Amino acid sequence: MKKLWLVFGIIMAVSFGTLLWIGTEIFREAPPIPQRVVTTAGEEVIGPEEISDGQNVWQAMGGMQVGSVWGHGSYVAPDWTADYLHREAVYLLDQIAADEYGGKYESVEADKQALVRQRMQSMLRANNYDASTGTLTIEPERAEAFRENLEHYRQVFGEGSAEYAIQKGAQSDPERLRKMVAFFFWTSWASTAHRPGDSISYTSNFPSEPLVGNIPTSSTIIWTGVSIIMLLAGIGGMAWYFASLHEEAPT
């Protein structure tokens, strides 16, 4: 029994030590919450505390019972990060294609699509957050995409949507809705903007979105496989150990 207690103590110490270390790293590398989001032309798109207030609005509506954020969520409604990101990417592709080639993204030649897509990815993946002022600077096109998404979500949460599993009047207050969409914008920004000095986003390129180049990192794939193998090995080891403690039943 002493050996079993010793093994148990070691496992607990290693497990909780690992959790504390990972928790510290998550806190240290957490994406910053900008105090202001402004365009390169100086227009304020999101004001002080609006992102945090928007998170509170989403939580007050039910939070993860009304769709998910960064993959943590419910069985109904979409992942709002992924939804906002995809809609912003599509909007930017069409805007850039219209400015450069006079047509929508889908209507231009494949080689031109590649150029448009690269410009859009560079725009989304650039980290223009200034930690000294708490200000995030974005291009005017992204501000237009924010307003476009705001109108879309006004219809979804105000008029209801069977596609999104959102009932009519779920959020009809325009100011609260705007703040909630600001929160969606921030989660989308954190999922694409490169961490300082790195080539992956704050969320390690999650959610997956090929349009913006968000693909799973090699470390994500490796550690997902390792965790599954360790889980199966642990279950198999426990089954083998307990089976070895019991004699076979007499025939």
In three-state secondary structure terms, 209 is strand
Please tell me the pTM assigned to this model. Answer: 0.82
Q: What is the mean pLDDT of residues 105-122?
A: 96
Over 70: is that where the pLDDT of 135 sits? Answer: yes
Do 63 and 117 touch, CB atoms closer than 8 A?
Answer: no
Q: What is the mean pLDDT of residues 61-87?
A: 86
DSSP 51-112: HHHHHHHHHHTTGGGS-BBTTB--SSS-BHHHHHHHHHHHHHHHHHHHHHHSS-GGGS-HHH
pLDDT of residue 141: 96
pLDDT of residue 251: 60
| Stretch among 82-86, 103-107, 194-198, 224-228 having the lowest mean pLDDT | 224-228
Mean pLDDT of the chain: 90
Summarised one tens digit per residue, pLDDT across range 36-69 is 999 999 999 999 999 999 999 999 998 878 889 9
Question: Residue 247 — very low, low, confident or very high, per pLDDT cuts 50/70/90?
Answer: low
Q: What is the mean pLDDT of residues 97-108?
A: 94
**10 Å Cβ neighbour count for 96?**
19
CA 120 to chain centre: 18
Enumerate the domain spans of the chain: 33-216, 218-251
In three-state secondary structure terms, 45 is strand
Over 80: is that where the pLDDT of 208 sits? Answer: yes
Closest CA to 174 of 194, 158, 195: 158
